[in-house]
Amino acid sequence: MDTDWHPFVTARAWPNAQISEAFEQWEPKHVADLVQGPGVVSGAYFHAVISGVPEAFTGSGTIMAYYTAREVDGLFAFLQSQVFADAVAEGEQWFGGFHPTDWEDITGNIYVVDSVERRADGSAHPELTFWQRFEVPEERLAEFDAWAAAHARALAAAGGVERVRTFSAVREGCPLPYYYSRGNRMVAADAGSLDALIAPEVRAAVGDSLRWDLELEYVKRDVYRHLYHHDSGHGGEY
């Protein structure tokens, strides 16, 4: 699927109890507004799964959203647009109501797809996705990328896993350095059920991944459940 290769900009956060209910009522409008911006193909919203999963599968924050584009320049056009500026200005009402996520109120990244392992047809927006994010120093990128390619194949071989992708973070050219949060590499495994993501084959692959927790300064893992998404009416034109 072409959408397998779409880059995206993502943000993660943890609304506190005082704003959580009102924030969740507001967020669908926020996503719908943002996908009207130039360059955007689709926007999706997720909740972190924080029960029924191993401790190693829980990271930081409780919510995640991403916005896809056909290419990185489309994401840059989106982030510099008036639509984006207006939506962010409206969202400022919630500032001060978030618990820190990775020592920031909101963290974000732009990710480009490096590889795709697809085992089943499926939506561009998975029902569940398991993200493993790593901050890898320059001198270890070649070693890590070789490991990540093999790790992705191991995850994709697990029954019930529909798609596995590897990603690199964009660290140059972004008009908003806010999206330079830690996590310059990511492996994401998608499935239609939680059981598939915590199956023995996946746990075994994650067991191998845990060695990086002992070697890198930043590793986070999160399972996210898709709540809703909105598609743009222009298919990513900008």
Model confidence over 73-93: pLDDT tens digits?
A: 999 999 999 999 999 999 999
Q: Is residue 152 part of a domain?
A: yes
Q: What is residue 119's predicted lDDT score, i.e. its pLDDT? A: 75
Give the CA angle between residues 3, 74, 185 to the nearest 5°: 65
Would you say residue 75 lies in a domain?
Answer: yes
Establish if 238 belongs to a structural domain: no
Domain assignment present for 85: yes
For residue 19, tell me if it sits in a domain: yes
Domain enclosing residue 183, as ranges:
2-231
Q: Which of 59-73, 90-104, 212-226 has the lowest mean pLDDT?
A: 90-104
**What global pTM score does this model have?**
0.96
Kindly tell me if the per-residue pLDDT of 1 is higher than 80.
Answer: no
Residue 121 has pLDDT above 80, yes or no: no
What CATH number is associated with residue 27?
A: 3.30.70.100
Q: How many residues can be counted in the chain?
A: 238
Mean pLDDT, the chain, rounded, equals 95
How many domains does the chain fold into?
A: 1
Residue 236 lies in a domain: no
Q: Tell whether 227 is covered by a domain.
A: yes
In a domain, 237, yes or no: no
Average pLDDT value for residue range 93-118: 91
pLDDT per position as a tens digit, 158-180: 999 999 999 999 999 988 888 99
44-66 residue pLDDT tens:
999 999 999 999 999 989 999 99
Percent of the chain with pLDDT over 70: 99
**Residue 102 above 90 pLDDT?**
no
